[in-house]
């Protein structure tokens, strides 16, 4: 039977009989077994590596378009060069187990009718990568700040590699004395993973600095949904009502801890009050 110019045999030769048919065009089973998977793939429609590259590019494009669509709702533009860090962050964070949570010690909690009002936690000293943004809105500041941090996490660092994701991403906001308005200056911060705490990789972006945050006692209250000037002010005032006395905490600087990306509709957040040293 014609195999398209290729023939197959179960043996490795013709027994040395020169009078038999010419075996020079035959491919033996031993020949096939010696071929690598990539060599076999090369004979088809592109190599396995090429097909995987095409699939990765398609997935990267889909993720970028999704982020761009969602971000437009926050008046934020996601540049095409964000495709690679978005793809890398997504690939390296399949499942929550790969995301390291900033460690803390639980000191206490307050509940009312079975509903958590706040937790009191102790966070230890550690290195954080921080950048300060000053956009027209809080949402724009945290989105652009988070994208800067993403690039640092994924490759734009002195190790030129993926550092690992930690949660939460923290934004630091300041308010006026009456807690009615938020300053335009917003700091976005990422806690270095445990393996990088001793020797933090340096950022390529000069807008990002590595800082040592001292140990702190934090009062944390959970909330869900979007984070903007209105919701943050509401959460600050709701938390202030729960703390007795409120004078034990810093009164003009607060933290918003985000456990989902800033563009997510149903964000999982916490408002943090810092206890005075």
Choice among 76-80, 141-145, 232-236 with the minimum mean pLDDT: 76-80
96-275: CATH architecture: Alpha-Beta Barrel (3.20)
pLDDT greater at residue 271 or residue 143: 271
What span, in angstroms and rounded, lies between the C-alpha atoms of 118 and 249? 14
pTM of the model: 0.70
Pick the more confident residue, 255 or 60: 255
CA distance 42 to 138: 51
Q: CB under 8 Å to 122, separation ≥6 — which residues?
A: 104, 105, 107, 215, 216, 217, 218
**pLDDT(57) > 70:** no
Find the helix or strand (DSSP H, E) in which 231 lies: helix 229-242
For residue 150, the SS3 value is helix
Q: Encode 176-190 in three state secondary structure.
A: CCCCCCECCCEEEEE
The residue-averaged pLDDT of 65-94 equals: 58
Q: Which pLDDT score is estimated for 73? A: 55
Q: How confident is the model at residue 263 (pLDDT cuts 50, 70, 90)?
A: low
Percent helix, strand, coil in the chain, to 5, is: 30, 30, 40
Share of the chain above pLDDT 70, in %: 62
Which of 22-26, 106-110, 198-202, 265-269 has the least mean pLDDT? Answer: 22-26
Q: Residue 75: which of 143, 132, 148, 146 has the closest Cα?
A: 143
**Residue, of 51 and 266, whose pLDDT is higher:** 266
Residue 34 has pLDDT above 80, yes or no: no
Task: Enter the DSSP assignment of 203.
Answer: B
In order, the DSSP letters of 24-80 are TTEEEHHHHHHS-HHHHHHTSSS-HHHHHHHHHHHHHHHHHHHHHHHHHTTT----G
pLDDT, mean over the chain: 77
Torsion sign across C-alpha atoms 174, 76, 68, 148: negative
| All structural domains of the chain with their residue ranges | 96-275
Q: What is the distance between the alpha carbons of residues 164 and 93, in angstroms, rounded to a whole number?
A: 9
**Cα–Cα distance between 50 and 138 in angstroms, integer?**
42
- pLDDT digits over 82-123, tens only? 666 566 566 655 544 468 999 999 999 999 898 999 999 999
Q: How far apart are CA 117 and CA 251, in angstroms?
A: 19
Q: Residues 238-253: pLDDT tens digits?
A: 999 988 766 789 989 9
């Amino acid at each position: 039977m014609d195999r398209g110019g290729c023939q197959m045999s179960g043996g490795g030769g013709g027994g040395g009989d020169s009078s038999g048919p010419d075996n020079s065009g035959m491919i033996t089973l031993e020949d096939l077994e010696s071929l690598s998977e990539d060599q076999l793939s090369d004979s088809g429609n592109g190599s396995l590596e090429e097909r995987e590259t095409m699939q990765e590019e398609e997935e990267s494009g889909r993720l970028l378009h999704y982020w761009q669509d969602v971000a437009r709702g926050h008046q934020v533009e996601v540049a095409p060069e964000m495709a690679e860090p978005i793809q890398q962050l997504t690939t390296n964070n399949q499942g929550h187990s790969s995301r390291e949570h900033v460690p803390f010690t639980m000191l206490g909690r307050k509940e009312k009718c079975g509903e958590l009002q706040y937790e009191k936690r102790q966070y230890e000293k550690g290195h954080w990568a921080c950048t300060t943004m000053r956009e027209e809105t809080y949402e724009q500041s945290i989105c652009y700040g988070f994208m800067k941090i993403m690039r640092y996490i994924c490759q734009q660092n002195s190790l030129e590699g993926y550092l690992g994701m930690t949660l939460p991403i923290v934004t630091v906001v300041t308010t006026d004395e009456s807690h009615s308005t938020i300053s335009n200056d917003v700091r976005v911060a990422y806690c270095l993973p445990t393996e990088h705490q001793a020797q933090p990789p340096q950022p390529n972006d000069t807008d990002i600095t590595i800082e040592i945050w001292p140990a702190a006692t934090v009062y944390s209250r959970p909330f869900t949904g979007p984070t903007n000037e209105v919701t943050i002010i509401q959460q600050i005032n709701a938390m202030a009502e729960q703390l007795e006395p409120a004078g034990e905490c810093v009164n003009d600087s607060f933290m918003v801890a985000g456990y989902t990306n800033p563009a997510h509709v149903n964000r999982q957040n916490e408002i943090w009050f810092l206890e005075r040293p």
